[in-house]
């Protein structure tokens, strides 16, 4: 997902940006690819990371939940042959596609592809009018279903947590009132209402609807839960010495990755709950700096990189730890099943 200099994702509303792999050199340095290794790219997108790993002689298992991303990459199989496996799947299920001996690396770029943003019919952007959809895989409830069916209190919590929108309650109540006259069907329709409720000020750098669109996209695609389960899956799928490298684009994602690695790294000193002697051994050890951001040169050349953060760890031979979602303090929001009616 593209982000502005302030770290706020605005991929839901931003205009076309040519896809460029973010922090590619840093990702390769953290992965240390070598010929014959088996890598998994859990967020294939336009294939930037996969192509670089293949060029280094690796075999790549490439996942993407978007069928269009997979279909659009068939030509790569002509170049790389059976060293590239393209699979339509959620990255939370990545352990199902790992070889029995384990993976040498898992690479995750947690963002919406600029190709998705550019397609008006996908409904991610309000810069181009289109159906209020936002589904990456094309199944399940749409963003229109969410704004037309959920109560204002639920909408306010979604906008407040996933979008960090200060006017969440006000916008949610306006949505609930307006939909009595006509349901929301298009991106421009929703964006126009939000702009009326919270007019754009001259000093504002982003459109008033940006945070709401981000929140809806994250909720519709269950992005934070998917990320959490993908981290747990990576722990199961990596062999000892395998690398997990994750690039995030806003604070909600980065916080999850940071907490995961902090919990999995060297466990010393104990806590009020568990003395040091009873703590399970670390399942990961740090790779490089705790966090790597894009250089000024890259951020200038590629606006998408401005808020990107890379974190990485190396799998130890310790047993897999518990996949406990409470580690991430995710909010108790209405499940998508509630939206189905």
* Of 267, 294, 282, residue with least CA distance to 319: 282
DSSP for residue 8: -
Would the annotation count 49 as a binding residue? yes
Q: What is the Cα–Cα distance from 175 to 200, expressed in whole angstroms? A: 18
Distance CA 97, CA 90 (A): 11
DSSP states of 44-97: -TTSHHHHHHHHTT-EEEEEES-HHHHHTTHHHHHHHGGGEEEEE--GGGGGGG
Neighbours of 121 (CB within 10 A): 9
Q: Which helix (H) or strand (E) holds 105?
A: strand 103-109
Alpha-carbon distance 42 to 64, whole Å? 7
80 marked ligand binding residue: no
Do the annotations mark residue 97 as ligand-binding? no
Q: Where are the beta strands (DSSP E) in 157-308?
A: 238-248, 284-286, 292-293
Q: Which residues fall within 8 angstroms of residue 133, CB to CB, at 6 or more apart?
A: 121, 122, 123, 124, 142, 143, 144
Q: Is 118 annotated as a binding residue?
A: no
Place of tokens 């047993």: 319
* 64 labelled binding-site residue: yes
Regarding beta strands 238-248 and 103-109, do their DSSP bridges make them parallel or antiparallel, or are they unpaired? parallel
Binding residues for S-adenosyl-L-methionine: 47-49, 64, 91, 109, 116
Binding residues: 47-49, 64, 91, 109, 116
């Amino acid at each position: 997902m593209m982000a502005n200099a302030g770290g706020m994702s605005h991929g839901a509303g931003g205009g076309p940006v040519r896809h460029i792999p973010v922090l590619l050199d840093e990702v390769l340095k953290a992965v240390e690819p070598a010929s014959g290794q088996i890598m998994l790219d859990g967020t294939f997108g336009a294939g930037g990371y996969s192509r670089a790993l293949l060029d280094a002689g690796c075999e790549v298992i490439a996942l993407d939940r978007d069928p269009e991303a997979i279909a659009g990459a068939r030509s790569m199989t002509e170049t790389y042959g059976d060293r590239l496996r393209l699979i339509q799947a959620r990255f939370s299920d990545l352990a199902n596609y790992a070889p029995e001996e384990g993976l040498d690396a898992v690479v995750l770029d947690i963002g919406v592809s600029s190709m998705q943003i550019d397609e008006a019919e996908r409904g991610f952007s309000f810069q181009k009018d289109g159906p209020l959809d936002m589904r990456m895989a094309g199944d399940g409830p749409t963003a229109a279903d969410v704004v037309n069916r959920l109560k204002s209190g639920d909408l306010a919590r979604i906008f407040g947590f996933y979008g960090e929108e200060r006017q969440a309650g006000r916008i949610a109540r306006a949505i609930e009132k307006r939909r009595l006259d006509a349901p929301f069907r298009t991106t421009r329709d929703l964006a126009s209402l939000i702009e009326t409720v919270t007019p754009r000020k001259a000093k504002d750098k982003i459109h008033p609807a940006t945070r709401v669109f981000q929140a809806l996209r994250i909720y519709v695609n269950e992005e934070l839960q998917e990320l959490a389960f993908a981290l747990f899956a990576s722990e199961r799928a990596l062999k000892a010495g395998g690398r997990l490298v994750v690039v995030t684009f806003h604070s909600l994602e980065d916080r999850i990755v940071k907490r995961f690695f902090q919990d999995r790294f060297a466990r010393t000193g104990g806590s009020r709950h568990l003395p040091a002697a009873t703590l399970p051994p670390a399942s990961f050890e740090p790779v490089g700096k705790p966090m790597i951001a894009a250089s000024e040169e890259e951020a200038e050349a590629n606006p998408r990189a401005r808020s990107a953060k890379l974190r990485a760890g190396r799998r130890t031979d310790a047993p897999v730890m518990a996949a406990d979602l409470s580690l991430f303090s995710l909010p108790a929001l209405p499940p998508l099943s509630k939206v189905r009616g």
